[in-house]
Amino acid sequence: MSDLRPITALGAALPRLASFGALEIRENGGLALASLVLRRGTVEPTPFGLTLPGPGRCVAGQGVAAVWTGLDQWMIEAEGRAELDFAAELKQLAPGCSVTEQTDGWVAFEIVSRAGSRPLNALLSKLVNVDLADFGPGRATRTGLEHMTCFVIRRGDAHIAVLGARSSAGSLWHALETAAKRLEER
Amino acid sequence: MTRLAGGLIDRSRTLNFSFDGKRYQGHPGDTLASALLANGVRLVGRSFKYHRPRGVLSAGSEEPNAIVELRSGARQEPNTRATVVELFEGLQARSQNRWPSLGFDALAINDLLSPFLTAGFYYKTFMWPKGFWEKLYEPAIRRAAGLGRLSMQADPDIYDKGFLHCDLLVIGGGAAGLAAALTAARGGARVILADEDFRLGGQLLSETGTLDGGQATNWISALEAEFESLPNIRVMRRTTVFGVYDHGIYGAVESVSDHFPEANGCVRQTLWRITAKRAILAAGATERPIAFADNDRPGIMLAGAMRAYANRWAACPSETVAVFTNNDDGHHTARDLAAKGVQIAAVIDARPEAKARGDYRLIAGGMVTGSRGRLGLKSIKVQENGRSEWIECGALGVSGGWNPNVHLFSHHRGRPVWNEPLQAFLPGEEGALGLIPAGAAAGHFSTADALRSGAQAAQRAMDELGIAASLPDLPRAEEADYTVAHVFHVPGKKRAWVDFQNDVTVKDIKLAHAENMGPVEHLKRYTTLGMATDQGKTSNVTGLAVMAELTGRSIPETGTTIFRPPYTPVTLSVLGGGDVGRHFRPRRLTPTHHWAKAQGAVFVEVGQWMRAQYFARAGETHWRQSVDREARAVRGAVGLCDVTTLGKIDVQGADVGEFLNRLYCNMMATLKVGRVRYGLMLREDGFAYDDGTCARLAEDHCVVTTTTANAGLVYRNMEFARQCLWPELDVQLISTTDAWAQIAVAGPKSRALLARIVDGFDLSNEAFPFMACAELTVCDGLRARLFRISFSGELAYEVAVPARYGHALIERLMELGADLGATPYGTEALGVLRIEKGHAAGPELNGQATAAMVGLGSMVSQKKDSVGAVMSRREGLAGDRRRLVGLRAVDPAGKVVSGSHLFAEDAPRKFDTDQGWITSACYSPHVGSMIGLGFLENGDERLGEVIVAANPLEGESARLRVVPAHFVDPEGARLRE
Amino acid sequence: MLIPHPLLGPRDAQEFTYLGDARLIDRPDSSAPDAEAAFCDYVFLRDNPAGVHRELWFHEQGDRSWLVVTRDTVTHEVLGAELARNVPLSRTRCGK
């Protein structure tokens, strides 16, 4: 085991956590990510027992989830496995598919509301141009957020995750924090 | 004048405010205009050109006259309309466009000079002498004309933006809008109701008519309570829908805290982008004045506005008023004001058949032909059947009929259609898809008609969306008739104003006509009619009518102008979206950013990236000292540089080799596993595009790198090739730029340093030669990738680890390399090293260079097709004889400046003797003088020649010797050691 | 504008990057005798009609798909959108 110490996307030893009114934003440093793409003629796999979702959707299993990211292409997430070689593990479970390690390509912010979906929707309406009437649990999309390309994943009625490029983690945090603070002030 | 009785103001609370330094009081519910009128203030501004005294004309967002400067200090805001400024405690307002004071304005002299200031005077008067315009005329005119002044300070407030989606957007919260929103909301549709006012109700708030026998406000309050209880409707007060865009996208500004003394850290305004499946335009109608001689005195206002001030705000500009009308609506004003105890001096109705609607003196078939009162109306001249008389009054309400607010409907080139009975333009058949006009905006002027039309429009929209919505029970309301006569101006010799804000009179329109500026768009530009901040809301139709009369055509034949967004002025701050300064755009930080910062790095923006430019050490007083030291460290020992910003694209699939063969101009399919190859991409037009490396990690897996600047574009092009050109190939692309921290370890001691971190990996030249790559572990088990590639010309490697470990890795390398002289270097030294080595980069690959020009002509494979291959062989490109050369000052202390143009030593410095230019230049610590790279005609055949580099911008030129582009190790032995 | 994405439904045009004439899909055969002239047309000549036009749009802030969008350039009415990768495939199948 290497003795090198990792830092979070926001440049600290520990993930950042902050609350704004009913909203809590948590940097999810432990989330392992790998993309999975079908090759020509491969059979759609069911890694970790996940039935890969269709366009605009996500599915979750026991500590794992799959998000549709493009035609024949998904992002597979695994909680708490960032320090493992998750891509290698996925590759075993998806024979004949292209698998690319993505864990450090992204920063994941988990946003949870203690007051139901309302504050979350209010926050989203300030950040992304998504029709929230059609964005319940099980939906996920990639879209622009303050000029950054992000995945927005509806993990639950009162829980979303925003994944953005790791290098712009600071700008993404600023965008989320600013919007959340303004809701709190209202 | 004191307050009238009644009104929708909260008299239990008093608000203090000031206008031009004088203190006044008003109440919650007041606008600045209503409070000023209630305090007897009629004179509120000066006109744009003639500096004529002006008063409040309207009671809404169409106001052309009552334009004031609000607040002070950095929050000073010019050109706000007093008629829509909601009164708050401590409000400060100042009049504009006057000096030294509103009552006495020195530039009122312009009014006397008006014969010289007619339409088009700019074009005629200030044409000569040449050169005077810029230096004298324009600055003088700018000082004299114009409206308020900017604070010249940064806006201290914050602005926000957001996105909303709905089934139905209802624009306007008057009778029609409320009925529409109610219908759709009860049907279960997702509804947004937006209104520019701070109180819902629209014109209902200004009328005394009842709904179901009760006050209109009772019905509105009940509706508001119902809306509050429904989860599917969002009511947005103080929200102006200012623009209609394609496919149901609407722009709106919500004024969040403009009605507070200060935003106090809260958002001031929010820009909303609303995507609506259907929308209802219930924006109401705007009254237009009738032009007559001297019709612009303070106290002369729109009759409907006069009624609104009396009914809603319990204010009236005078105790004695008269009304001049060409339609029935003017009589409502007389009736309502009389009921409030205001003396009605007379109602002058241009229609001979007009009947009185109350106990007041009616002059049927009469016209107002003049007025008196320097700073406020004193009397009007009335003519009837050849008789004329002066009637004393302090205010005159004028009604020339009502124009439906079709503006938003026209944003999609929906041409309004003339309606003869209403003497107004109505929305036509064409217009924005899914936008349905209703209420007064559609010409339904009575309350009962407006309610019905709103509900029906909503039902139609719901039908189209497949949502079942039934018509609600609507309240019983007034069904008043509305008839109007074709009277737009009163003939006469004196000036009669059409556009109050830009000082355009009937005479100006006549002049434009006489000078052949007949078409509406010419008329507008020549006279500036309708081109002020109010965009001619009260003047456009009158202007058209006057022109129609002059040309003997009908109004529809004369044409209409096209309305464009925004409906009312929108501040640039809110359009900017809120993020300013450091947060104006996203910033990307490298994995070693925080470490570099702690080392004293100076950063430079490279696109969105922040990169370390150089690492200043104690005692270094000039950036060159740092850069020279860093470059020397790489050549003499070992340097470390974060190169994460280079684009990294993971390419997998059975056809990886073939795919890359078609993208790069050189052969890639033959690349062996465990090897790296330099690759050059061309554009399809044959010019060099981007360069990078391709590392083959497995038969079906490559990692390619791009330049920092082109990372996104190359990825886009690769996706284009994959999806559009060759979808039959089995290839998958994933961008992994951010996933790996990549650190260049360069210099003769780089191998020794890396040997200290790799886990049992053989770094010997035999096992891991130049252009090798491998996946391995470092520092006891950390997954890593190692590439033996060099940008500096030295023995060099790039090592990549998961991004979260980049910080720790560079720390470890520095620690372990202390005795080897490990030195961090930034982009500046990186540039010096690559120029010394003659590597083409951004300044050379500028989109105008061919592969041959940068010395890579032989890379373009003739054996295969690739993007740009065919076009690179065309005559014009193949025949370009400019070649990349090295340049060295003949005088060792001489300057080499990039951008300088190159000439033969004895040639004149002209365009046709120009032989190329310097692309990159730097001081080379290795060479000991300034050096450069440049493109030179036949450069490859002119080594040793002395040429001249001319820099006419600085008036400098220098003698340079043409040398090979490789200043360092031309044989490339160091790379392969 | 809204682009009717064939997989994701209506998406705001701000998520897309515009390229232009969909004919760019038809890259000429480089081995043909008239290849240079054909490439010259391909690179430099584009249709730009006032009316119905087939255009390439890239869903850059989305699923990274290239779409062929049929749009009336006068009214901005969008008449349809399909995945660009299906366009050449169907052309191959038709044997053209």
**Host domain of residue C8:** 1-25+49-96
Is the residue at C40 inside a domain?
no
Is the residue at C42 inside a domain?
no
pLDDT number for residue B671: 97
**What is the least distance, in Å, from the CA of C1 to any CA of chain B?**
5
Give the CATH number, domain containing residue C95. Answer: 3.30.2270.10
How far from B620 is each of B415, B628, B826, CA to CA, in Å? 69, 11, 15
* Strands A23-27, A106-113: pairing kind: antiparallel
pLDDT number for residue A106: 98
Q: What is the pLDDT of residues B888-912, one digit of tens each?
A: 999 999 999 999 999 999 999 999 9
> How does residue C93 score in pLDDT terms, banded at 50, 70 and 90?
very low
Q: What is the DSSP string of B315-379?
A: --S-SEEEEEESBTHHHHHHHHHHHTT-EEEEEEES-TT---SSSS-EEET-EEEEEE-SSS--E
Q: What is the DSSP string of B124-179?
A: HHS--STTHIIIIIHHHHHHHS-------S---SEEEEEEEEEEEEEE--SHHHHH
How far from A139 is each of A128, B462, B485, B606, CA to CA, in Å? 14, 27, 60, 35
Residues of C in contact with A70 (CB under 8 A): 63-65
Residues of B in contact with A166 (CB under 8 A): 738-739, 803
Q: What is the pLDDT of residues B382-414, one digit of tens each?
A: 999 999 999 999 999 999 999 999 999 999 878
Beta bridge partners of B727: none
pLDDT surpasses 90 at B562? no
Helix-helix angle B520-527:B506-514, to 10 degrees: 120
> How does residue B139 score in pLDDT terms, banded at 50, 70 and 90?
low
In this structure, how many other beta carbons lie within 10 angstroms of the beta carbon of residue B181?
A: 34
Q: What is the CA radius of gyration of chain B?
A: 38
Q: What is the CA radius of gyration of chain A?
A: 16
pLDDT surpasses 90 at B43? yes
Helix-helix angle B447-465:B175-186, to 10 degrees: 30
Residues of C in contact with A144 (CB under 8 A): 14-15, 61
Stretch B683-707: mean pLDDT, rounded? 97
pLDDT number for residue B550: 92
Residue ranges of chain B assigned to CATH 3.30.1360.120: 586-643+737-831
What distance in Å separates the CA atoms of residue B404 and residue B419, rounded to the nearest whole number? 11
Greatest CA separation found in chain C?
Answer: 44
Task: Report residue B476 CA to chain centroid gap.
Answer: 45
What distance in Å separates the CA atoms of residue B889 and residue B898, rounded to the nearest whole number? 13
Stretch B577-600: mean pLDDT, rounded? 93
Stretch B663-684: mean pLDDT, rounded? 97
pLDDT number for residue B149: 82
Task: Report residue B938 CA to chain centroid gap.
Answer: 48
Which helix (DSSP H) or strand (DSSP E) does residue B698 occupy? strand B688-698
> What one-letter code names the amino acid at B278?
R
Residue C83 touches chain A, beta carbons under 8 Å: yes
pLDDT surpasses 80 at B448? yes
Mean residue pLDDT across chain B: 94
pLDDT surpasses 80 at C90? no
Given a contact as 3+ CB pairs under 8 Å, which chains touch A?
A: B, C
pLDDT number for residue C94: 38
Q: What is the DSSP string of B417-467?
A: EEETTTTEEE--S-SSTTEEE-GGGGT--SHHHHHHHHHHHHHHHHHHHT-
Is the residue at C16 inside a domain?
yes
pLDDT number for residue B144: 61
Interface probe, candidates C30, C69, C74, chain B, greatest B C-beta count within 10 A: C30
**What is the least distance, in Å, from the CA of C36 to any CA of chain B?**
6
What distance in Å separates the CA atoms of residue B81 and residue B86, rounded to the nearest whole number? 10
Residues of A in contact with B164 (CB under 8 A): 125
What distance in Å separates the CA atoms of residue B66 and residue B62, rounded to the nearest whole number? 10
Q: Determine contact, residues B501/B66, Cβ cutoff 8 Å.
A: no
* Statement: A17-185 belongs to CATH 3.90.850.10: no
Which helix (DSSP H) or strand (DSSP E) does residue A36 occupy? strand A32-37
Helix-helix angle A117-127:A169-185, to 10 degrees: 120
* Statement: B157-283+402-463 belongs to CATH 3.50.50.60: yes
Beta bridge partners of B641: B744
What distance in Å separates the CA atoms of residue B661 and residue B667, rounded to the nearest whole number? 6
Helix-helix angle B175-186:B216-229, to 10 degrees: 30
* CATH code for the part of the protein at B646-733: 3.30.70.1400
Residue C38 touches chain A, beta carbons under 8 Å: no
Share of chain B above pLDDT 70, in %: 97
CB-nearest to B808 from A6, A40, A147 is A6
Interface probe, candidates C7, C16, C44, C66, chain B, greatest B C-beta count within 10 A: C66
Geometric angle at alpha carbon B861, from B855 and B864, rounded to 5° = 160
Is the residue at C44 inside a domain?
no
Q: What is the pLDDT of residues B12-37, one digit of tens each?
A: 999 999 999 999 999 999 999 999 99
Residue ranges of chain B assigned to CATH 3.10.20.440: 1-150
Beta bridge partners of B639: B746, B823
What distance in Å separates the CA atoms of residue B738 and residue A13, rounded to the nearest whole number? 19
**Chain A nearest-CA residue for B276:** A131
Is the residue at C38 inside a domain?
no
Stretch B851-878: mean pLDDT, rounded? 94
CB-nearest to B162 from A82, A125, A168 is A125
Residue A69 touches chain C, beta carbons under 8 Å: yes
pLDDT number for residue B623: 97
Q: Determine contact, residues B79/B96, Cβ cutoff 8 Å.
A: yes
Cβ of C62 within 8 Å of Cβ of A71? The answer is no
**Bond from prior residue into B566 cis (ω within 30 degrees of 0):** yes
What distance in Å separates the CA atoms of residue B663 and residue B691, rounded to the nearest whole number? 11
Q: What is the pLDDT of residues A34-59, one digit of tens each?
A: 999 999 999 999 999 999 999 999 99
* Statement: B880-976 belongs to CATH 2.40.30.110: yes
Q: What is the pLDDT of residues A155-168, one digit of tens each?
A: 999 999 999 999 99
**Chain C nearest-CA residue for A141:** C62
Beta strand residue intervals within B489-549, DSSP E: 497-499, 504-505
What distance in Å separates the CA atoms of residue C85 and residue C25, rounded to the nearest whole number? 9
Which helix (DSSP H) or strand (DSSP E) does residue A37 occupy? strand A32-37
CB-nearest to A2 from B160, B589, B781 is B781
Residues of B in contact with A168 (CB under 8 A): 586-589, 608
Q: What is the pLDDT of residues B46-89, one digit of tens each?
A: 888 888 999 999 999 999 999 999 999 999 999 999 999 999 99
**What is the least distance, in Å, from the CA of B874 to any CA of chain C?**
7
Q: By CB neighbour count within 10 A (0-12 exposed, 13-18 middle, 19+ buried), where does B876 fall?
A: exposed
Q: Where are the domains of chain A?
A: 17-185
**What is the least distance, in Å, from the CA of C25 to any CA of chain B?**
5
Residue B678 phi/psi, 5-degree rounding, is -70, 140
pLDDT number for residue B127: 62
How far from B32 is each of B36, B64, B173, B231, B517, CA to CA, in Å? 6, 15, 21, 35, 39
* Strands C66-72, C78-83: pairing kind: antiparallel
What distance in Å separates the CA atoms of residue B672 and residue B679, rounded to the nearest whole number? 14
Q: Determine contact, residues A185/A177, Cβ cutoff 8 Å.
A: no
What does the buried/exposed string (b/e) look like for B101-113 if buried means 16 or more CB atoms within 10 Å of the residue's CB? ebeebebbebbee
Q: Determine contact, residues B850/B931, Cβ cutoff 8 Å.
A: no
Residues of C in contact with A149 (CB under 8 A): 60-61
Cβ of C63 within 8 Å of Cβ of A55? The answer is yes
Stretch B520-532: mean pLDDT, rounded? 90
Q: What is the pLDDT of residues B192-244, one digit of tens each?
A: 999 999 999 999 999 999 999 999 999 999 999 999 999 999 999 999 999 99
Report, at the CATH architecture level, how domain B487-556 is classified: Orthogonal Bundle (1.10)
- Torsion angle (degrees, nearest 10) of CA B733, B739, B741, B742: -10
Q: What is the pLDDT of residues B289-305, one digit of tens each?
A: 999 999 999 999 999 99
pLDDT surpasses 60 at B1? no
pLDDT surpasses 90 at B168? yes
**What is the least distance, in Å, from the CA of A3 to any CA of chain C?**
38
> What one-letter code names the amino acid at B737?
T
Q: Domain tally for chain C?
A: 1
Q: HSE (CB half, 13 Å, CA atoms) of A44?
A: 12
Helix-helix angle B506-514:B540-551, to 10 degrees: 50
pLDDT surpasses 80 at B155? yes
Stretch B473-490: mean pLDDT, rounded? 93
The CATH number of domain B586-643+737-831, selected from 2.40.10.10, 3.30.1600.10, 3.40.50.920, 3.30.1360.120: 3.30.1360.120
Is the residue at C77 inside a domain?
yes
Residue C15 touches chain A, beta carbons under 8 Å: yes
Stretch B712-730: mean pLDDT, rounded? 97
What distance in Å separates the CA atoms of residue B525 and residue B241, rounded to the nearest whole number? 26
Residues of A in contact with C61 (CB under 8 A): 142-144, 149
The CATH number of domain B1-150, selected from 3.40.640.10, 1.10.10.60, 3.40.50.10860, 3.10.20.440: 3.10.20.440
Q: By CB neighbour count within 10 A (0-12 exposed, 13-18 middle, 19+ buried), where does B42 fall?
A: buried
Q: What is the CA radius of gyration of chain C?
A: 15
Residue C9 touches chain A, beta carbons under 8 Å: yes
CB-nearest to B739 from A104, A126, A170 is A104
Is the residue at C69 inside a domain?
yes
Cβ of B724 within 8 Å of Cβ of C12? The answer is no
